[in-house]
A and B are shown apart, each in its own frame.
Chain A
């Protein structure tokens, strides 16, 4: 019992409230795992863009401008999804409503910015080579 308490989520949630319905706990865990896969996909996409994409003529750092933010976004998603898992687990224990997740908006916003940057690279590259 002591061991179980020690490995419980941080933030003192372990001693608060009651053990929630196992189904909710499992659903919370699956949400975390789904975000983990999303973050892995972002990391590998950033790596592939930096490595596989042919260099933009005139803009040698162009590929890294697209790939690096994707990798950073991937690690941010991994960390935030864990924090949200812990917060949700605490809310479930205390019977409180779950907070709205930050991740969908952050993901949409960052991907939009990266896409706009990638779009801007094409005319920049064309202007530099002419």
Chain B
């Protein structure tokens, strides 16, 4: 994906829009999967990330509503900040956790 449309499929913005919406769906499912995996170690964090998955799924609708990606900058910042938050949580679970998985006894 270098931004150059050689493929005949890329000639229709409608399909590009649909592919982008599907990419948002996949991202939402990824968040939900991470949340489900986190549930095992930290219930609150897991539920929070699962909720983020739902929110990201709703964000995908904006692709259809806006048409252009002019206003997408803020949405993408939200995704980036959320992933940073998820990794900080994962680090905290890993390094500060007690018992089998944590560093502390």
Contacts and interface: CB of A to CB of B under 8 A. Distances in A.
A50 B34 contact: no
Contacts of A25: 68-69, 72
Contact of A68 (B34, B95, B100): B95
A67 B94 contact: yes
Given A29-B23, A64-B95, A85-B76, A47 B41 contact: yes
Contact of A41 (B3, B30, B71, B100): B30
Contact of B94 (A19, A37, A46): A46
A17 to B, nearest CB: 13
Contact of A44 (B2, B26, B37): B37
A47 B94 contact: yes
Contacts, number: 156
Interface string A53-76: 000000001001001100110110
Interface of A: 3-4, 7-10, 19, 21-34, 36-37, 39-41, 43-44, 46-48, 50-52, 61, 64, 67-68, 71-72, 74-75, 78-79, 81-82, 85-86, 88-89, 92, 98
Interface of B: 1-5, 10, 13, 16-17, 19-20, 23-24, 26-27, 30-31, 33-34, 37-38, 40-41, 63, 67-74, 76-77, 79-80, 83-84, 86-88, 90-91, 93-95, 97, 100-101, 103
